[in-house]
Amino acid sequence: MPLKTSWVASANDAHHPFPLNNLPYGVFSVEGDEPRCGVAIGDMIFDVTAAEAEGLIQLADEPLFDLPFWNPLMEQGPAVWAALRDRLTDLLAEGSEARSDIEHLLIAQSDAEMHMPVAVSEYTDFYAGRHHAQNVGTMFRGPDNALPPNWLHIPIGYNGRASSVVVSGTDIRRPWGQLKSPEHDRPAFLPSRRFDIELEMGALVGTPSDGPITVQEADNNIFGYVLLNDWSARDIQAWEYQPLGPFQAKATATSISPWIVTKAALDPFRCDTPAREFELLDHLKDCGPMLYDIDLSVTMAPDGKPATTIARTNYKEMYYSSAQQLAHHSTSGCPMNTGDLLGSGTISGPTKPERGSLLELSWGGKEPLTLDTGESRTFIEDGDTLTLTGEAKGEGYTIGFGDCVGTVLPALQDPYGR
């Protein structure tokens, strides 16, 4: 599919992340106004809330965009999602007769502040990247026992904290926690010394379900995707995770990119999951290309200094797709709600520069990274800014998500304020 041209000139740049082919959904505000729904087009934001109020967009009997999140549209289902995309394309395409009626509804992105695009209902994070699981398992159990026996049969996950999901640009405070003290046999309550990131994609559930759903139904129910950084305190995690898995180590924050890229925008980039050692059970079998060819990268910038790219990989490296994760999540009868967020798990490739976490890049702290500034890192230091980016390259156009950025602040001097 080639570039679709728009009368918004900046959207026609082959390298711009927000062409007419994309039309991602976010929530923005300008000084003095309340947050509202908008669509990115080139360097601008089209005010969808105002367009609906002026009668330029009418998709349902009741307003869908009068709240500062996209959940009301998400729960409408695929037919309404497609209708909105068609209407936006008609309004913003080159030669549109509506141009004079809607030019006043464009706001420069440089003048806007971005907010959470979705009210997250619940958050589940998976451990579904083969190379990441192999690397981490090798570090702690050796290469012969790196993967647990179930890993090649089901997408492993855990329930996280929806309350700590934040939008890109939100500062992240280094957490306190109970650690196994290197100086003593008993634990100590200290700020995390091994704070880390995880490069992930997040899938957002649109259509709710109640009971088991197939992989194809799960794929139909996914509304769109965001970049996701699962901030992780590795030292807290190492002490707490046995026998029930991650808890406080993963509860500090989860950052997502500001724009939801719809499944329709990503359809041209679908690709197959990797070859499998074992055939999956029927309820998890692939039913077509379920992954996406999306280039991903991570940069690290020490406080006030230039950034260094520390990792490059691709979403197609995942072993399980988001549709398979969602289908597996539903097998017990677990209802899935509009606004549920599914983290893919860390996305790593087969070589060292493709590793999506500092735990892997520094091999547990034993192999420090050297940044372009000359400084070295094993894990994140205070003041470091981590930025995740993602883009899919089409014929003369780019599909982007907006950066997923977080700066780590020092731990509180006294976490209880007394």
Half-sphere exposure in the Cβ direction for 197 (13 Å, CA): 36
| Residue 67: Cβ within 10 Å count | 15
Strand 398-400 to strand 308-314: parallel, antiparallel, or no bridges (unpaired)? unpaired
Predicted confidence at residue 104, as pLDDT, reads 97
Measured between alpha carbons, how far is 83 from 105 in angstroms, rounded to an integer?
Answer: 20
Res 360: pLDDT: 98
Q: Quote the CA–CA distance of 128 and 322 in Å, as a whole number.
A: 9
Residue-wise pLDDT tens for the chain (418 aa)?
899 999 999 999 999 999 999 999 999 999 989 999 999 999 999 999 999 999 999 999 999 999 999 999 999 999 999 999 999 999 999 999 999 999 999 999 999 999 999 999 999 999 999 999 999 999 989 999 999 999 999 999 999 999 999 999 999 999 999 998 766 678 999 999 999 999 999 999 999 999 999 999 999 999 999 999 999 999 999 999 888 889 999 999 999 999 999 999 999 999 999 999 999 999 999 999 999 999 999 999 999 899 999 999 999 999 999 999 999 999 999 999 999 999 999 999 999 999 999 999 999 999 999 999 999 999 999 999 999 999 999 999 999 999 999 999 999 999 998 6
**How many Cα atoms are found within 13 Å in the side-chain-facing hemisphere of 44?**
19
Cα 51 to Cα 54: distance, rounded to the nearest angstrom? 5
Nearest C-alpha neighbor of 264 from the set 162, 392, 170: 392
Place of tokens 């904290």: 161
**Residues with a known catalytic role:** 132
pLDDT score of 1: 82
Q: pTM here?
A: 0.97
Distance CA 409, CA 405 (A): 13
Which pLDDT score, from 0 to 100, does residue 242 have? 86
* Fold category of 9-115 in CATH: SH3 type barrels. (2.30.30)
CA distance 29 to 408: 25
* CA of residue 169 relative to chain centroid, distance: 14
Which residue type sits at 133?
A
b/e per residue 123-148 (b: at least 16 CB within 10 A): bbbbbbbbbbbbbbbbeeeeeeebbe
The confidence score (pLDDT) of residue 417 equals 82
Q: Which CATH class is domain 123-409?
A: alpha beta
Question: Apex CA 299: angle with CA 411 and CA 366, to 5°?
Answer: 70
- Report yes or no: 409 and 385 within 8 Å, Cβ to Cβ: no
Local structure of residue 64 (DSSP, 8 states): S
In the chain, which segments carry CATH 3.90.850.10?
123-409
- The pLDDT assigned to 27 comes to 98
Q: Where in the chain is the domain with CATH 2.30.30.230?
A: 9-115
| E strand spans, 293-351 | 295-301, 308-314, 341-343
C-alpha count within 13 angstroms, C-beta hemisphere, residue 59? 26
Contact assessment for residue 61 and residue 243, using Cβ atoms and an 8 Å cutoff: no
DSSP per residue, 226-288: EEEEE-EEHHHHHHH-TTT--SGGG-S-EEE-SSBEEHHHHGGGEEPPPP-SSPPPGGG---S
329 and 154 Cβ atoms separated by less than 8 Å = no
Look up residue 86 and give its DSSP letter. Answer: H
- The amino acid occupying position 70 is W
